[in-house]
Amino acid sequence: MPGRRRPRERQPGQWRQTRQGESLCSHPPEDLVVAGFGGFVEQKAKNLLSGQNRRVQPFVASLLDGVDVRETIRHWEKVLSGRWRPSPPTWPGSGAGRSEIAMNLSTTACNLIVLILALLILLAGVAYCFINRLLRKVKEAQQKLIALATIDDLTQLYNRRYFFVRFQQELERAKRYQRPLSCLILDLDHFKQVNDTYGHLAGDQVLKEIAHILKTQCRQSDLAGRYGGEEMIVLLPETDAHGAFAIAERVREMIQNHETVSAKGQSIRVTVSIGVAHLNGAEVGAVDNPDRIVQYADDALLAAKKKGRNRIKLYQST
């Protein structure tokens, strides 16, 4: 059209300067192609930066001031292709702010450590209490098992099995050191009549009280056990014949003078016959097992019963 100014043609690769004299980019506009945006967006970007839209160009130039367009395009190419990974975060603020944040984190870590230690100590205390209580229960159970295995339930004397285990140990010790050893066997006189007259519960009560008397008259080194039924047996280590006879006589007198009151209020009195067997240091070496000594005491007991009961008989080999 006449009067209209013809636009000046540009050479390929030439880049128009803004009115401020600043270059939008040091690369040609053909490189400003955002991959994956489609041909429309690509063409609009070329038109925008090629000078066809002069009103928008200064605004775009101000937006792109100081921006490396090539690096921007590469960045978005990586984003669209999935090859971009965010860079690690940096501490915000000045150096003082970073120091304050680090100090706060350090304090938080210390508090967390203290809390963990407190919880560990608490758990250790709970575990200690639980284990201690469990050990007490185990110890009590063991003591009950030992009592069941060694103690007669009625008389609370040693049962026959455990008594002879200890008897064998004392016999071996006496043989090694050639020390004297004595044994007593006690039998309640006419005990069957007690059961028939007063009942078996009253008879059990009599056995309990006689066993208690026997235990109180024995020394700590002596062994008292239930031999069977109404018979009881006592082992007297380091005791000669005179000492064994004295202990037997004291027990006999206490049983004779003792009165048992039944649940019905009935008064019950019993007597006891005792056989005593004694071996000195020289004689004990010829004995291999406790049965021989027990046989001597049993023979003496039978002799005491034949003599009229309620008496003591010392075993005589002749």
283 is catalytic: no
Find the catalytic residue in 230, 231, 238, 249. 230
Residues 6 or more apart whose CB falls under 8 angstroms from that of 234 comprise 183, 184, 185, 186, 214, 218, 222, 223, 224, 225, 247
> Which residues is 178 bridged to in the sheet?
none
- Residues with a known catalytic role: 230
